[in-house]
Structure 1
Amino acid sequence: MPIPHPQVRHYTAYIDEAGDEGIGKLAAGPSGGQSRWLVLGACIVTRENDLKLPVWRDKILARFPKKKTPDLHFRDLKHEQKIVACQEIAAMPVAACITLSHKVTIVGTKWEPVFKKKNYLYNYLIRWLLERVTAFCQSDARGTPCSLKVVFSRRANTDYQTMKDYLILMRDGLEVMRPVRSIRWNVLDVENIVVENHSRWAGLQIADVITSAFFLGVEPNAYGNYEHSYGKILRARLLQDHRSNCLNSGFTPVPGFGKCATDDQQMEYFLHFGAPR
């Protein structure tokens, strides 16, 4: 008698970014320049909840009856609307994962020529992000086989084929330096990666809110200040370890916590995502 195969549990991760990859002229106050941080964020849902995302997105938009555009874009919202959007997402059965790089830690090091190359920093952070996202899916499935579909928000200057080639290189074990962690390749099929426009997918719009919220917690504005409230509202959605610690699980700075050259305000923000004290 044939042994029945267990049902596969399906997940989708919607991925967006905030900031840019540039290292040549980092912003230093009102004069402008390239962002000091690059932040990648994922909104992770089960197949069942994926189908509900348009309804949940529309529920957020319904809170802003005077909004003229039909899609949700964090940068177009006022502060009080951003708070509401984060509160709504904090109540949703979705998971969030953030990976971020403080680019000042690259300037002047042996790695600067490497990460000045197009898409190198973006792809490097994608690797860190997918390591954590696939580990979460496997753990959440509790022994049931699972698969992950990845939907990227389209970026004008990103070569997605190069990114896929990089992932295949990792999958086939051809890296010169082997990572401490690894993407769970039994969860992620590189061919199950798609690129879509932000305006067409509710999941990408929710990922935009999540990613932008955490970006504003670390990226100084023109006056050198930060907005920590958005990320703190969304803490409950971040991936956590068994001690309810989000650092290096749902909120991962590269290089690691303590080495990413934070100021006092940023350090206070990072500590908020550690294990409860």
Structure 2
Amino acid sequence: MKHFTAYIDEAGDEGLGKLASGSIGGQSRWFVLGACIVNHDGDLKLPAWKDAIIARFPNKQRRDLHFRDLKHDQKVVVSQEIAKLPIGACVVMSHKATLIGTKYEAIYKRKGHLYNYLLRWMLERITFILERESLPEPACLKIVFSRRASTDYQKMKDYLYLIKNEREMFTPIRRIRWNVLNIEDIVVENHSKWAGLQIADCITSAYFSAVEPNIYGNYEPTYATLLKEKLLTTNGVSLNWGLTPVPSLGGCRADDRQYAFLQSHR
């Protein structure tokens, strides 16, 4: 059996109350989940890989990576270094503006609902690709989440069991490969103590920066573009596999710059 671990982090927030607009503050317009995926050998090497990245910044006081605390030049270097690592990445991003004023708004205003829904999309893709790439051997996936005070992890597991037991009111287009994922193997750890979570933070934040406007209305796709080759693919295409906008590219109401960035992953 081939063993894999997916370290998962998020960027932005789930709030749908008042979305940020230009220099006017508010909740993030996008909510992004990102994963760093490694095989067993890679998992053992993650601490050394993280230390080697931090060694690029000899004056850095803290010994953990937190993407938002880095300067632009440092973010570029971190992205370049992660791009060299034998890892996989999977990113799912929701443009929350598409939920405002719809019949789904009340549902996704509920605590944890948007997070769990994006997680479902992510696990459908990761487990499918790991199952395929591991053949003829079976694959086994362990999930490690970065701890969030606002997340009820038991409700998350309950939601996954509901999916697994086929108790949903609709038939999904894709499915999670339950032969790859054991729900009870899901664990939650502190970001500062796990190298894999720190790498996942950098991947997630890089893609968040590519679509979330800053106070000037600008995006920074440089970091994500450097990480593009790490995304999971099918037939050489990462869009809707390693990078998935929710709704789809045609319905996510991306502006021209965001659309060009997403389109580049076809």
TM-score range, shorter chain: over 0.9
**Structure 1 partner of 2:255:** 263
Runs of 4 or more, structure 1, over 2 Å off, are: none
Map 1:36-115; keep pairs closer than 5 Å: 36-115=29-108
**Structure 2 partner of 1:214:** 207
Map 1:118-267; keep pairs closer than 5 Å: 118-242=111-235, 244-267=236-259
TM-score (norm 2): 0.99
**Structure 2 partner of 1:4:** none
Shift of 1:15: 0.2
Write the distance in 2 (CA, Å) between the matches of 1:235 and 1:56: 19
Write the distance in 1 (CA, Å) between the matches of 2:17 and 2:66: 28
Aligned partner of residue 233 in structure 1, secondary structure: helix
Write the distance in 2 (CA, Å) between the matches of 1:143 and 1:174: 31
Alignment check: 8 A CA contact 1:13 1:151 kept? yes
Write the distance in 2 (CA, Å) between the matches of 1:140 and 1:52: 21
Alignment check: 8 A CA contact 1:232 1:272 kept? no
Q: Deviations over 1:254-276 (max 9, x none)?
A: 100111001111011111111xx
Q: Deviations over 1:35-63 (max 9, x none)?
A: 00000001000011100000000010000
Write the distance in 1 (CA, Å) between the matches of 2:169 and 2:116: 16
Aligned partner of residue 222 in structure 1, secondary structure: coil
Q: Which amino acid aligns with 1:118?
A: K
Write the distance in 2 (CA, Å) between the matches of 1:143 and 1:160: 33
Write the distance in 2 (CA, Å) between the matches of 1:178 and 1:9: 30
Shift of 1:31: 1.7
**Structure 1 partner of 2:110:** 117
Residue 16 (structure 2) pairs with residue 23 (structure 1): yes
Write the distance in 1 (CA, Å) between the matches of 2:107 and 2:59: 46
Aligned partner of residue 155 in structure 2, secondary structure: helix
Shift of 1:145: 1.1
Aligned partner of residue 90 in structure 2, secondary structure: strand
In structure 1, the gaps of 5 or more residues are 1-7
Aligned partner of residue 51 in structure 1, secondary structure: helix
TM-score (norm 1): 0.95
Shift of 1:26: 0.2
Count of matched residue pairs: 266
Structure with larger Rg: 1
Q: Deviations over 1:130-153 (max 9, x none)?
A: 011111211121220111000000
C-alpha RMSD of the superposition: 0.6
